[in-house]
């Protein structure tokens, strides 16, 4: 890497990201290869090519952390990234890629069920969806599977830059309404718009990651606390 490239990579985050020291640990093809199940993890799932890796890079504020593939269905392993000693980000292999041979699909399913069904450090799952085609059958299957097991889900409607403002907002409201209808408030499913290209929705997603991973805000960053309505207790405070 040239000095210029390295500098631009470091300069990427707009404000100091709690994920700036994140590094790749390993790609696991079998559950036995998973890192020790201690501390906290946030994982990203979604259709191949939905934009998972791009979202992970933007949210972490590190270009080139997770590989961004132009060829769908390339990542077959669960990629683990280390945020710090106790925290990890996890890029799950994509689903819904038609050209994957059946034995591969079975291996994928076994790996995903082992991870999602047994991972105690998993605090929440981000389901990345292309905002032009949200809630495909497989997306619904994935969300329902997690809701049944009490896993918190956050839907990231990405590539929002490909929609007009009005269409993006209509999609957001319709996905929120569907999720509320299907899973109720107990379902712990939230939804947001996102664009890796425009870096919109970046702060909202990063704040959720920090909350799930119990990363405490450091310096008292001046925030617009005094909004209308009653003051609510801050999120993420222990006890």
Ligand X SMILES: Nc1nc2c(ncn2[C@@H]2O[C@H](COP(=O)(O)OP(=O)(O)O)[C@@H](O)[C@H]2O)c(=O)[nH]1
189 binds, among Mg ion, ligand X, none (CB under 5 to 8 A by kind): none
Site for Mg ion in 28-57 (CB under 5 A): 52-53
Q: Is 16 exposed, middle or buried (0-12, 13-18, 19+ CB in 10 A)?
A: exposed
54 binds, among ligand X, Mg ion, none (CB under 5 to 8 A by kind): ligand X
Q: Is 79 in the site for Mg ion (CB under 5 A)?
A: no
Residue 221 Cβ, how far from ligand X at the closest point, in Å? 26
Q: Is 51 in the site for ligand X (CB under 6 A)?
A: yes
How many residues in the shown chain lie near Mg ion by CB under 5 A? Answer: 3
Give me the helices (H) in 52-188, please. Answer: 52-60, 102-118, 137-148, 165-183
Q: Is 94 in the site for ligand X (CB under 6 A)?
A: yes
195 binds, among Mg ion, ligand X, none (CB under 5 to 8 A by kind): ligand X
Residue 188 Cβ, how far from ligand X at the closest point, in Å? 23
In angstroms, the Cα distances linking 193 to 82, 108, 162 are 26, 28, 12
Strands in the chain per DSSP E: 23-28, 40-46, 78-84, 87-91, 122-130, 153-158, 189-193
Q: Can you read off the two tokens belonging to residue 237?
A: 């405070």
Residue 117 Cβ, how far from ligand X at the closest point, in Å? 22
Q: Which residues bind Mg ion (CB under 5 A)?
A: 52-53, 75
């Amino acid at each position: 890497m040239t000095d210029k490239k390295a500098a631009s990579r470091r300069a990427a985050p707009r404000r100091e990201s709690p994920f700036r020291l994140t590094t790749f640990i390993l790609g696991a093809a079998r559950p036995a290869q998973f890192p020790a199940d201690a501390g906290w993890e946030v994982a990203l799932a979604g259709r191949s090519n939905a934009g998972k890796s791009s979202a992970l890079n933007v949210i972490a504020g590190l270009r080139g952390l997770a590989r961004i593939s132009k060829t769908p269905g390339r990542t077959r392993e669960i990629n683990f990234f280390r945020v710090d000693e106790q925290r990890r980000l996890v890029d799950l292999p994509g689903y819904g890629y038609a050209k994957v041979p059946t034995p591969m699909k079975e291996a994928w399913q076994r790996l995903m069920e082992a991870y999602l069904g047994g991972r105690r450090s998993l605090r929440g799952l981000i389901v990345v969806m292309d905002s032009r085609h949200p809630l495909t059958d497989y997306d619904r299957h994935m969300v329902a599977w997690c809701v049944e097991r009490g896993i918190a889900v956050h839907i990231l409607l990405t590539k929002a830059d490909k929609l007009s403002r009005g269409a993006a907002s209509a999609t957001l409201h319709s996905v929120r309404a569907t999720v509320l209808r299907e899973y109720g408030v107990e379902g712990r499913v939230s939804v947001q718009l996102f664009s890796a290209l425009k870096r919109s929705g970046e702060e909202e997603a990063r704040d959720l990651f920090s909350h799930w991973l119990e990363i405490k805000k450091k310096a008292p960053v001046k925030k617009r606390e005094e909004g209308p309505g009653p003051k609510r207790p801050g999120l993420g405070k222990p006890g």
